[in-house]
Copies of this chain bind each other. A is one copy, B any other.
Amino acid sequence: MTGPGGAGLTVGELSEEGLLEIIQGALAPASAPALWPADSVPPGDDAAVVPAPRGAVVVSTDAMGEGTDFLLMWPAGVRTRGYDAGWKAAAQNLSDINAMGASSSALVTALTLPEGTDVAWVRGFARGIAGAIARLGAGGCRAAGGDLGTGERIQAAVTVLGDPGAGVLERRPRRAEDRDRLLAEGADLVHCQVLGGLVGGGPGWAAAGLRLLLTERAELERRWDALPAEQRPGAREIARAVRGQLRPRPPLAAGPAALAAGVLTLMDVSDGIGRDAHRMARACGTGASGGRVEDGRARTLTPWVADTWVAEVARPLGPVAALAGVAPEALVLAGGEDYGVVGLAWPETALPAGFTRIGRMLPAGAEPPAGHRPLPERGWDHFGG
């Protein structure tokens, strides 16, 4: 068995302690002594102890597996480097904490590795975690340890903890009077993708990247040749799509800013705006969140999206969408793994920087808003989908 990424030292040639040392070294920027105050316990014991100054902790977990969630070598000829995989494993969980309006405080990783994995790939993985934490603006997030094991495929299960702000942002409004007003009047659908100056991503770009990565190189070249010159994507557009897929950039300041601004609900866009907005509609419309049912009223909400917004964000996707063989509007409405945030706000709420009003969430049967279309409940189903 040869390791992904080269002919260097493999995991099976090192002791567990040796490999741990390499991983801890690569994670060091996210586990500096200053991050661990007197009453906390850094990694190295049976468990870590992380401050929770608000008296509550936000928790989310996500696993990512080679062969299912990523390929070490994509049909298009691109490799997933360790750094990419570590970045994405961290980013998708940091995104969930952000979507609660919270700030990430600690991250643990259960990492399963085939014995033939290059140690350099593993070091890159740990550096990718630390890199995502630093570059996405989650500097208070501590690498708090984890677990190492062997298996046939690379598998990484990351759990991120977070500090709530003055409350959290759920999929439905927290206050009963907001829920009642929402079911009566509807609210604006709001969205934020890019914050903090990091380029890349945007609605539909990660899904376009996935389509490109999954297409054989020869087929991409055939399509390229068949496209009129003015419709061919440039190298920067292709890179934006591929990087959107391999290294997503959740806007980690957006969640806490939305909470402070009085945004009503928030989710991260992991499975496509259409599918996720419908999930939010169900959570709001039945008064149910996690099994809580309120008064049994079967009111429902429908998400609408503005034609102008769809056209505006689909336009720059045109050339990569053509190469990927898919309609740009389908990427915008159903593409997953963008890790922007989508939520609801009253028309009178002043939105934080970076947020846009992209549509309306209206009671079923309400007058269709002018210049809008219903958001289709299509999107990415990670499971059997």
Contacts and interface: CB of A to CB of B under 8 A. Distances in A.
A19 B383 contact: yes
A280 to B, nearest CB: 10
A164 B39 CA distance: 10
B46 A150 contact: no
Interface stretch (A57-65, A241-249, A322-330): A57-65
Contacts of A47: 58-60, 96-97, 99-100, 102, 162
Contacts of A108: 59-61, 159
Nearest to A18: B384
Contacts of A41: 58, 100, 168, 170, 289-290
A38 to B, nearest CB: 10
Interface in A148-198: 148-153, 155, 157, 159, 161-162, 164, 167-168, 170-171
A115 interface: yes
A127 to B, nearest CB: 17
17 contacts: A14-B384, A15-B383, A16-B382, A33-B292, A39-B56, A40-B56, A44-B171, A44-B291, A47-B59, A47-B99, A48-B60, A49-B168, A61-B146, A63-B155, A64-B149, A148-B383, A155-B155
**Lowest 5 CB-CB distances: which A-B pairs, in order?**
A44-B290, A157-B157, A16-B383, A42-B290, A63-B110
